[in-house]
């Protein structure tokens, strides 16, 4: 696991890595971390920020980029949206399809660098895929241009991503302000930037499958510190949302 983290720049941007996680792990750990107790808490945190920033999804068309096994796609479909999930990991898409009970969400194997849709979506979301797929600002620009092309004018974009420079960065080594600038250059008017997933607790709790009586209090304490002192930038992830202007 730690070797994987050291080699993350090569690994995370290949479908093979995400296919192998799907074979080795189970539940949300396939697309998140080995500690499924923490994954459940993070899942709830993500849904509450999605509800806050995308209050009106019923009847809307939604694209979930890097959808993994479809956690967020299923949630949004349950709220009445028509959701397409895309991911370049064949195994993740196979699992997502297996977890479906009907045609919505629908899933395709597709890279975010080659999105086929044009002017189709009212909402585009992602958790943890864009800052993992893009190696630099140029690649982020290519991905954002494809996302904007796939979206309709006036569409909402909500990206929940590990946006960092230095120690905490995954693949993309870019600050939040620069990330927002790339979104603006692609045609997104950025409206919200919020922290999520207190990073010290994430580093301490995510890699080992700890019981919930250890995971939950550590997680909750971290969340309250992160929210009380936002200026410290204690979020491992950033929710960055905006509106497409075409
Ligand atoms: C951390 S997982 C998140 C999965 C999912 N969004 C979730 O919330 O459970 C990152 C996902 O991004 C996908 N991914 C990485 N690079 C991609 C690319 N270039 N195109 C499409 N998907 C990609 C991986 O296959 C993986 O499923």
pLDDT digits (tens, 9 = 90+) for 145-169: 999 999 999 999 999 999 999 888 9
What is the C-alpha end-to-end distance of the chain, expressed in Å?
43
Cα(229) to centroid(ligand 1), Å: 30
Sign for the CA dihedral angle at 74, 196, 161, 209 comes to negative
Cα(110) to centroid(ligand 1), Å: 10
Burial class, 149, CB count within 10 angstroms (exposed 0-12 / middle 13-18 / buried 19+) = middle
**How confident is the model at residue 4, as a pLDDT?**
66
Residues with CB under 6 A from ligand 1: 13, 18, 31-32, 66-68, 71-72, 87-89, 92, 111-113, 127-129, 132-133
Q: What percent of the chain has pLDDT over 90?
A: 73
Cα(214) to centroid(ligand 1), Å: 28
pLDDT in tens, 79-119: 999 999 999 999 999 999 999 999 999 999 999 999 999 99
**How confident is the model at residue 22, as a pLDDT?**
85
Pocket-testing residue among 87, 95, 147, ligand 1, by greatest number of atoms within 8 A of Cβ: 87
Domains of the chain: 2-244 (3.40.50.150)
Confidence bin at 174 (pLDDT 50/70/90): very high
E strand intervals along the chain: 61-65, 82-87, 106-109, 121-127, 151-161, 188-198, 235-244
Query: Going by C-beta distance under 8 Å and a sequence separation of 6 or more, which residues neighbour residue 27?
Result: 36, 39
99/137 Cα distance (integer angstroms): 35
**How confident is the model at residue 119, as a pLDDT?**
98
| Residues forming a β-bridge with 196 | 237
């Amino acid at each position: 696991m730690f070797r994987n983290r050291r080699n993350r720049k090569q690994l995370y941007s290949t479908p093979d890595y995400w296919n192998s996680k799907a074979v080795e792990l189970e539940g949300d750990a396939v697309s998140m971390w080995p500690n499924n107790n923490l994954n459940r808490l993070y899942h709830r945190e993500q849904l509450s920020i999605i509800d806050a920033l995308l209050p009106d999804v019923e009847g809307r068309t939604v694209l979930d980029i890097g959808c993994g096994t479809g956690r967020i796609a299923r949630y949004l479909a349950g709220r009445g949206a028509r959701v397409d999930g895309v991911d370049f990991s064949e195994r993740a898409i196979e699992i997502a399809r297996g977890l479906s009970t009907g045609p919505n969400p629908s899933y395709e194997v597709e890279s975010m660098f080659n999105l086929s849709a044009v002017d189709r979506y009212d909402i585009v979301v992602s958790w943890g895929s864009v800052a993992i797929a893009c190696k630099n600002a140029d690649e982020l620009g290519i991905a954002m241009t494809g996302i904007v092309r796939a979206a309709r004018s006036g569409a909402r974009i909500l990206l929940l991503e590990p946006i960092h420079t230095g120690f905490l960065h995954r693949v993309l080594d870019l600050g939040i302000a620069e990330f927002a600038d790339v979104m603006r250059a692609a045609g997104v008017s950025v409206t919200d930037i919020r922290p999520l997933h207190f990073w010290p607790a994430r580093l301490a709790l995510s890699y080992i499958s700890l019981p919930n009586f250890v995971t939950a209090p550590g997680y909750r304490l971290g969340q309250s510190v992160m929210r009380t002192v936002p200026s410290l930038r204690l979020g491992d992830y950033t929710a960055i949302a905006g509106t497409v202007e075409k």
